[in-house]
Structure formats: C-alpha cells, structure tokens
Amino acid sequence: MQRRMRGWFKRWGLVAALIGRLVLTFIGWSIHLLAAGAKTEAADDEASCAIRGCVLNYRTGKLDDGTDPYGWYKRD
C-alpha cells in the first residue's frame, strides 16, 4: 500500500508542478503584454520643461535647458 501511495504522490506532484508552471507562464506573458501596451511620456516634454524653468529655443521652436550651442534664446 505504501508503494502505491508513493506513486500516487509522485504523479500528482508532477501534475501540480506542470499546472504551476503554466500559471506562472501565463502571469508572465500577461505582465509582458500589459507593460508593452503602456504609453510613457518623454521626460523632456514641454510641460515638465516649463516647470523646471526652461527657455524657448527659437532655432528649434521647442523649450530646452539653454545648452544648445547652435540655438538662440533671445527674440530677434
């Protein structure tokens, strides 16, 4: 009887391991799909730059930190 129970536990242990692996794979793919669909904003967008005190670069027409060597920052 003990030998038969050992085989039963071994079989159900393998089934449980397979189910666990499938569940973890499904969760991993779900997280991957959710993360791939997430839209992120650029850190250099005009709203955040304006809050930090950036100036308008008239060459590019965008706000930046004033370090563009070819840009000009005063209106002509």
Residue type, 59: R
The answer on pLDDT for 76 being more than 90 is no
Q: Which residues lie below 8 Å from residue 42, measured CB to CB, with a gap of 6+?
A: none
Looking at residues 70-74, what average pLDDT do you find?
75
Looking at residues 61-72, what average pLDDT do you find?
78
Q: What does 45-61 look like in DSSP terms, one character per residue?
A: -HHHHHHHT-EEETTTT
The answer on pLDDT for 73 being more than 70 is yes
What pTM did the predictor assign?
A: 0.44
Q: Which residues lie below 8 Å from residue 29, measured CB to CB, with a gap of 6+?
A: none
Look over the chain and give the mean of its residue pLDDT values, rounded to a whole number.
79
Predicted pLDDT of residue 43? 55
Query: Per-residue pLDDT tens for 27-55?
Result: 999 999 888 877 766 655 556 666 677 87
